[in-house]
């Protein structure tokens, strides 16, 4: 019923008054309805493109003006995709004097639309959605970074104390205030290959360890 009313309304327009009913019916079927179908197809393509964008970008919280820009973005992308197909077809068929001007103008239009797409994307500042796999990867990366930072911090604050006589590592220590002249005395109880106990007694200060980069004997680690 709506289509019939619409057809009758169009029939009454001044530009069609000189057409016979048969001529108008032919024009209506071949031109007007065809354009309506094309328009519906184009609108469907824009709707589908917005749905595609919604899968990759956060668009739920866009304001009204931003949604209008989103429609413009989808329209530009759909138009760009169609024109690129047309340009590809022209290139496949070959460029000659008959179509070289058309191809040149079409290339310029495509380049202009690409710029429009880029500008609209920048204006909207769309942010990509974080997928589940990306979240999991981010968590794993975060944990690994924490582990590395903890290891670096541990190595920075821990001191390694060796027996000056036999070079045996006797312990690790961490001073809350290494700049204060704290001291620790150790007795090496290492049993040597000949069965004797080293027995060396020595004292190490926190200032000494800090000065030697966490070691009481230079040369045990590279850079000490």
The residues spanned by each domain of the chain are: 2-124, 150-211
Per-residue pLDDT of the chain (224 residues; tens, 9 = 90+): 334 446 666 666 666 677 787 777 776 676 666 566 656 677 788 888 888 888 777 777 778 788 888 888 888 888 888 888 878 877 777 777 777 787 788 888 888 888 888 888 888 776 555 544 555 566 667 777 788 887 777 777 788 889 988 888 888 888 878 788 788 999 999 888 888 899 999 999 888 888 887 888 877 664 45
CA dist 183 to 62, 156, 207, 214, 216, Å? 64, 19, 9, 14, 12
Residue 49: Cβ within 10 Å count: 19
Q: Given CA atoms 96, 101, 107, 113 in this order, what sign does their dihedral have?
A: negative
- The secondary structure element, H or E, covering residue 74 is helix 64-93
- Is the pTM higher than 0.85? no
pLDDT the model gives residue 2: 38
């Amino acid at each position: 019923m709506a289509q019939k009313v619409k057809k009758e309304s169009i029939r009454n327009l001044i530009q069609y008054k000189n057409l016979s009913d048969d001529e108008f019916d032919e024009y209506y079927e071949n031109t007007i309805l065809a354009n309506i179908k094309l328009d519906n197809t184009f609108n469907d393509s824009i709707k589908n493109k917005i749905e595609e964008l919604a899968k990759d970008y956060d668009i739920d919280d866009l304001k009204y003006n931003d949604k209008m820009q989103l429609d413009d973005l989808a329209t530009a992308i759909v138009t760009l995709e169609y024109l690129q197909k047309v340009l590809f077809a022209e290139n496949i068929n070959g460029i000659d004097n008959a179509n070289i001007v058309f191809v040149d103008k079409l290339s310029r239009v495509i380049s202009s639309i690409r710029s429009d797409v880029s500008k609209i994307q920048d204006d909207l500042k769309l942010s990509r959605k974080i997928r589940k796999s990306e979240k999991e990867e981010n968590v794993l990366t975060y944990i690994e970074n924490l582990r590395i930072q903890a290891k670096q911090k541990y190595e920075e604050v821990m001191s390694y104390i060796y027996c000056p006589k036999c070079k045996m590592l006797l312990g690790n220590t961490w001073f809350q205030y290494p700049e204060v002249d704290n001291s620790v005395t150790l007795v090496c109880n290492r049993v040597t290959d000949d069965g004797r106990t080293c027995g060396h007694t020595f004292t190490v200060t926190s200032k000494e360890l800090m000065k030697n980069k966490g070691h009481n004997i230079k040369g045990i680690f590279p850079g000490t």
